[in-house]
Chains A and B, each alone.
Chain A
Amino acid sequence: DAGVTQSPTHLIKTRGQQVTLRCSPKSGHDTVSWYQQALGQGPQFIFQYYEEEERQRGNFPDRFSGHQFPNYSSELNVNALLLGDSALYLCASSQNPTPGTAAFFGPGTRLTVL
């Protein structure tokens, strides 16, 4: 059983460009959450998708958007990249979570913005 997978592993972009990151959840999971982990920090919640809709959103600007497909996979899009967007982007999946549900994380995509 494959766990959470993310692609690509690494990505280098320049300021102003746009990027799309992809995530496939663990088998049986229907909810995908995205987190940003800057260097030396803990993961920070971006948003969560359930039933193809954004259900919750953290404190991130509209440049960050996402999508969930009928097969529960998800994309994270970031427009107008800034240097400060350089980080590890983690995808986490769970089964219609409630408080206390342990999410399963993928290995992340390392984004570098030059």
Chain B
Amino acid sequence: DQQVKQNSPSLSVQEGRISILNCDYTNSMFDYFLWYKKYPAEGPTFLISISSIKDKNEDGRFTVFLNKSAKHLSLHIVPSQPGDSAVYFCAASARGSQGNLIFGKGTKLSVKP
């Protein structure tokens, strides 16, 4: 049973526009959420995280929003650039864990020039 769900396998966006990647979760014990980006032939690279006590975290062009009541988070990339084209993974870390991560299946973002 998937505890972290990314229901959109792919997303295509025009350069300069906003990319919104969505993630849903089911486990109320999750208290941290992280986004990773993965290029082909490379390992996932950490992008941004958010604690469950916050509803927004911003880092440059990347903003993550958390809606705890809906068990939903989203990653906004503004403005999108062709170099952002990659697979984006949503991951969650549970209270009491030593940082082991539960990942969604990923969303492949394509940013077209």
Which positions in A face B, CB cutoff 8 Å? Answer: 4, 31, 33, 35, 40-45, 48, 50, 55-56, 58, 90, 92, 94, 96-108
> Which A residues are CB-close (under 8 A) to B32?
99-100
Contacts of A40 in B (CB 8 A): 105
Name B residues whose Cβ lies closer than 8 Å to a Cβ of A: 4, 6, 31-32, 34, 36, 41-46, 49, 51, 89, 91, 93-106
Q: Which residue of B lies closest to A46 (CB)?
A: B100
The reply to whether B43 and A31 contact each other, CB–CB distance below 8 Å, is no
Bound Cα distance A35, B100 (Å): 10
Chain A min CB distance to B1 (Å): 11
Given A99-B31, A99-B32, A99-B94 in contact, is the A104-B99 Cβ separation under 8 Å? no
Asked if A42 contacts B4 (CB within 8 A), the reply is: yes
* Known contacts A98-B99, A100-B31; A107 and B49 CB within 8 A of each other: no
On chain A, the residues within 8 Å of B36 by CB distance are 105
Q: Given A4-B43, A90-B44, A107-B42, check contact A42 B99 (CB 8 Å).
A: no
Partner pick for A42 among B31, B41, B89, CB 8 A cutoff: B89
Q: Of B41, B95, B98, B100, which contacts A107 at CB under 8 A?
A: B41
CA distance A40 to B51 in the complex (A): 27
Contact between chains at B51 and A56 (CB < 8 Å):
no
Taken together as a complex, chains A and B put the C-alpha atoms of A102 and B46 apart, in Å, by 6
A-B CB contact pairs (8 Å), 10 listed: A33-B100, A35-B103, A42-B6, A43-B89, A48-B98, A56-B97, A99-B93, A100-B34, A102-B46, A105-B36
Q: How far is the CB of B98 from chain A (nearest CB, A)?
A: 6
Given contacts A4-B43, A100-B93, contact A42 B103 (CB under 8 A): yes
A23 to B9, CA, bound (A): 30
Which residues of A lie under 8 Å from residue B104 when comparing CB positions? 42
Rounded to whole angstroms, the CA-CA distance of A43 and B102 in the bound complex is 8
CA distance A31 to B98 in the complex (A): 10
The answer on a CB contact under 8 Å between B49 and A97 is no
Are A105 and B98 within 8 A (Cβ)? no
B103 to A48, Cβ gap below 8 A? Answer: no
